Amino acid sequence: MPIQTVEEKKIRLKGLSCATCATNIERALRKSGYDSASVNFSTGIVLLRGDAERAKHVIKQVEPEVEFISASEKEEEDLRHPLYYIVPALVLFIAGLIFRYWYPIGGIALTLPLFGAAYGIVGWRVLRNAGMNLIHGKLFDENFLLVIATFGAFAIQEYPEAAGVMLFYVVGEFFQDMAVGRARSSVKSLLSLKVDRAHRVSNDGTIDIPLGEVNVGDIIVVRPGERVPLDGKVTSGRSTLDTSALTGESVPRSTGPGEEILSGMLNLSGLLRITVTKLLKESTLTRILELVESAGARKAKTERFITQFARYYTPAVVGLAVAIGVIVPLITGGSFATWGYRALVLLVISCPCALVLSIPLGYFGGVGKASKQGVLVKGSNFLDSLARVGIVAFDKTGTLTKGVFQVTRVVPADGWTDEALLHLAAQAEQGSNHPIASAIQSAYSGSLNGSLATLHEEIAGEGVTARIDGKQILVGNDRMLHHFEIPHTTCDVPGTVAHVAIDGNYAGYLVIADEVKDDAPATVQQLRSLGVNKVVLVTGDSAGVAAAVAKQVGVDDWYAELLPGGKVEIIEKLESEKAPGTTLAFVGDGINDAPVIARADVGIAMGGLGSDAAIETADVVIMDDHPSKLVLGILTARKTKRIVWQNIVFALGVKIGFIGLGIIGEATMWEAVFADVGVALIAVLNAMRILRSN
């Protein structure tokens, strides 16, 4: 019986302004039976498997303020709205201060209503949320803790402090939301590339239809200034394309008939007719958007640790506050008012917002920054792994080299001519789509029509055999000649050698060269400057070719003539050479690289020319096939990790420091609010630095 897989559902949330709320939603969904539920605070997206409607009911119970939006709707929040109640509350608060300290008239009868009104106007949302939390048994939410602390301040007649703390808290939340919104919009600019409709050519002319209705083989029109909606091949027209959204490259590239074109590219000049080659769900831009949106589901160890830490940290501090406010005065005989105030200060400090907000946002910014550079990272856990790369193994063809082969030399054996040797080799290769086969066919200028090959067979890792006009023709590498026991002389020449044998007799060889990518040597040098301990070349090509390319790009070592299983064995050997705490990355592009990409700590695929199998298996995808983008990815990953740890040390340091000051009575509620909201705001602003250029 076939195994049925449950499709992953996506729920978009509006009004998810609290990272702790996201954690609470995720925890509630998991308790309700959604094992794979993951909430991405940075994008407001919930990913889960199971009943989405039941999940919405669970989410509403946990966070009543959250709203659900469809994929077609845009989340538009008016960040000015809080000013409508912050400004009046601020006026009343200032009036209360004036009449209490500078012009003390009316006493409590005047100042208490002013402070009370300011408190109610600015804190009604906090009061409502605290009440909802109390109903649902959530005693350690920041809203409930803040209400308890400020009510306590009113009880001990610290009216200015009670109203001021609530006002400071809400103002801090306002600026914090602005900072989070700006960070989100910086990354979501990538998500705004999505196109909803296409101009499909039909018998009745050009009609606009939803992308989901476009089929493979349909012809669509892309006008100047429009973004390409689906992957395809140019049928007619010439233009220049802005590919920066996909690859990070600022230089436009030209395109014309017969060339492949990817969704998300911007048509700058001419009118293009494109034959669609992939459906909407398979197109490049759709896959990129899915990866960016779902990257938060794969959380880094640091993120998971902080989530668990916050779960125990807040109850621990609340317990400490209760002990200080009740037990200490009972034991020491001190004033309940004094120790109670200190306990209230600790309650305000206890919220771990700075950590649970800034750290996911930092990783989200890192993934978004890498995406804008043309490096797709499929999760923050892979961003962490990329930051710790100690060994890098490169495939050769299509990775360090351009993958464009040319026959550079024809060397016939006695009794054969260049023309005859090349002709027979080209005929034998007609049934193969291997790059070397294409190069041999392109090198023969004559017609290949006429005699057709029969009994054509392609032997993986060796070459092809074919029968033409009664002759048995072999075209392949040295391994193939040994396989068929054909006597020959060893060729020590730079480049890939394709040997030719006719009816078991050696007829000569062709030299096929592949050009090294322009940025490959510099990439190897830059990796060393970043502290990567070892860079190696792993290829299925011959030893002579591997040695030549290795010398040209400057790798430390090379391994040649490897089948897919052999590459995996080499990676496992290199794993034992890793320094503690470092990872091993493999960069490849072909179908035969998929197993080794999956085996490496960080599997990296070339997304431009790479196979779908390699891209799907990879943890990181380089969109433009430039190996130098790996360096940018590592730099972004390390910057992200550095800023995340800065926030952890800063937030915990300030929190612990203020807890100590609060216990000995040297911290007021005002300072406690700074230790909560102020630190969170600073940490968010620090996380936004990731989005800047390296």
Catalytic residues: 395
529 C-beta neighbours (distance < 10 Å), count: 8
CA angle centred on 533, ends 603 and 527, rounded to 5°: 65
- Burial of residue 452, with CB atoms counted within 10 A of its CB: 0-12 exposed, 13-18 middle, 19 or more buried: middle
Do 132 and 66 meet the contact criterion of CB atoms below 8 Å apart?
no
**Distance, CA of 306 to chain centre:** 20
Q: For 583-680, where are the E strands, in sequence order?
A: 583-588, 602-606, 620-622
> Which tokens hold the place of 397?
């063809």
Q: Cα-flanking dihedrals φ and ψ of residue 300, to 5°?
A: -70, 160
Q: How long a stretch of residues is the chain?
A: 694
3-class SS of residue 87: helix
Q: Which of 197, 151, 602 is nearest to 393 (CA)?
A: 602
Q: How much helix, strand and coil, in percent to the nearest 5, is found in the chain?
A: 50, 20, 30
Do 538 and 559 meet the contact criterion of CB atoms below 8 Å apart?
yes
Q: For 416-531, where are the E strands, in sequence order?
A: 454-459, 463-468, 471-476, 496-502, 505-516
CA distance 384 to 325: 42
The enclosing H or E element of 371 equals: helix 353-372
What sign results for the dihedral spanned by CA atoms 561, 565, 568, 569? negative
List beta partners, residue 500: 475, 508
Q: What is the end-to-end Cα distance of the chain in Å, rounded?
A: 52
**b or e along 541-550 (b: 16 or more beta carbons within 10 Å of the residue's beta carbon)?**
bbebbbebbb
List beta partners, residue 622: 375, 606
Locate tokens 């060729």: which residue?
Answer: 491
